Amino acid sequence: MSSPLRIGIIIGSTRPGRVGDQVAAWVQEHASRLGEAEYEVIDLAEVNLPLLDEAVPASAGRYTHDHTRAWAEKVDGFDGFVFVTSEYNHAPSPSLLNAISFIYREWNDKAAAIVSYGALSSGVRAADKLRSTLGELQIADVRTQLAFSFFHDFENFSVFTPGEQHFASLQALVDQLESWATAMQGVRAAKLEASAAA
């Protein structure tokens, strides 16, 4: 590779009192140590997108608002993503789904992994629904997923204290994500060549 892979770790929750920022920081710290890519946290609370306000579907690529264009530029600079999602009513957080829906091409032919957290199901139902959304956006999601439980991985349901057993899963996630992100670089390059030759 001519430059290191860039992986964005997206904090899906913007809710006051959230714990997703702690989970994302843990992923960044240890993924940076276990892998070869550059890992950067993207906080949707700081991105501060409004409720989807583009009149034209994102797949048309005609973004009219400055906040949409800024978000598109941000996402476009990454080769892959780790989506850190909470679970709301068996689904990903509304803020995450909103941010995903703003743009389209910038997600295409990238790789992604999912890290979820929640109560009884540790967020796995939200992750399952997120996978179908990622497929529609032509994002290749890897098999390995981390799922954290409020009952076992958080002290007083608020302080993230994951067990040592999660490191093996994180290593597998990092290996798969970086491998697929590298492969998808080739897919994007081939599409660019084909487009230039047309």
Q: Considering its fold, how many domains does the chain have in total?
A: 1
Q: Is residue 100 part of a domain?
A: yes
Confidence label for 195 from pLDDT (cuts 50, 70 and 90):
confident
Whole-structure pTM value: 0.95
Domain of 77, in residue numbers = 6-197
Which residues neighbour 80 within 8 Å (Cβ) at sequence distance 6 or greater? 5, 6, 7, 8, 37, 110, 111, 112, 113, 177, 178, 180, 181, 184
Q: Is residue 40 part of a domain?
A: yes
What CATH number does residue 22 fall under?
Answer: 3.40.50.360
Q: Is residue 1 part of a domain?
A: no
Place of tokens 């600079």: 77
155-190: per-residue pLDDT in tens? 999 999 999 999 999 999 999 999 999 999 999 999
47-76: per-residue pLDDT in tens? 999 999 999 999 999 999 999 999 999 999
Q: Is residue 15 part of a domain?
A: yes
